Amino acid sequence: MWRPGVSGHEAGVVERADELRQAFDHSFALAPASQTDTAIVQTLLTVRVGSQPYAVRLAELSGLYVDKPVTWLPGPVPELLGVAGLRGTILPVYDLGMLLGRPRAATPRWLLMTAGTPVGLAVEDFDGYLSVRLEAIVPEVRAEARQRHVREVVRTADLVLPLVSLASVLESITNRAAADDPDREQ
């Protein structure tokens, strides 16, 4: 696809983003799996926060965007990066790494848009899609390995990925926002 004013490196990034966007859209165009199949397979997105890979359930997302402008917004919550306009909606954008207890990302390029309550979660990189059998998702039992908002891990022959609970992330954001609301009734 031709795009004016795009260098060779940027063109590669744009082409990769187009491929990923098409694969993401295509996953929704497929006929729904049978009841048995959905109980067996989970589709996940793999992302990077800093150098750490994580997995997120595709069912908890409504969109994935690259290089969307985020307008900075002052506020008491350090994880809040600002707001972005996506699909005709203005939504808050948070640094997912900071919500997971990691340092602030220098320049997160990718935005995950949560399903249900629209919230943007910024990550440094999007690695791809992963379909795993349900039994590959297991509780994280090692106390020293537990991270904020990670209660499960994905185990395959090649890798072990922390699985981020977006429900937990959204609950944390809601609780923080309510605690920081000066108009909230005591």
Could you list the mean pLDDT of each consecutive 10-residue stretch along the chain, which spans 186 residues?
54 81 75 58 93 94 95 88 92 94 87 94 95 90 68 90 94 81 56
pLDDT at position 32 is 59
pLDDT of res. 21 = 82
What's the pLDDT at 74?
86
21 lies in the same domain as 76: no
pLDDT at 22: 81
Tell me whether residue 185 is in a domain. no
Look at residue 38 in the predicted model and tell me its pLDDT: 52
The C-alpha atoms of residue 56 and residue 77 are separated, in whole angstroms, by 23
The residue count of the chain comes to 186
Whether 186 is in a domain gets the answer no
* Residue 2: predicted pLDDT: 46
Query: In this predicted structure, what is the pLDDT of residue 12?
Result: 76
* pLDDT for 100: 93
* SS3 category, 98: helix
Whether 52 and 136 share a structural domain: yes
* Shared-domain flag, residues 70 and 153: yes
pLDDT at 1: 46
Q: Which residues partner with 107 through β-bridges? A: none
Looking at the structure, tell me whether residues 39 and 19 fall in a common domain. no
Q: Where are the beta strands (DSSP E) in the chain?
A: 41-49, 52-57, 61-66, 71-72, 80-86, 89-95, 110-114, 120-123, 125-133, 137-139, 150-155, 160-164
Mark whether 79 and 151 lie in a shared domain: yes
Domain that includes residue 19, residue range: 1-31
Does residue 135 share a domain with residue 62?
A: yes
Contact between 83 and 92 under an 8 Å Cβ cutoff? The reply is yes
Q: How many domains does the chain have?
A: 2
| pTM of the predicted protein model | 0.74
Same domain, 24 and 51: no
Q: Tell me, yes or no, whether 11 and 39 share the same domain.
A: no
Q: What is the pLDDT of residue 146?
A: 58
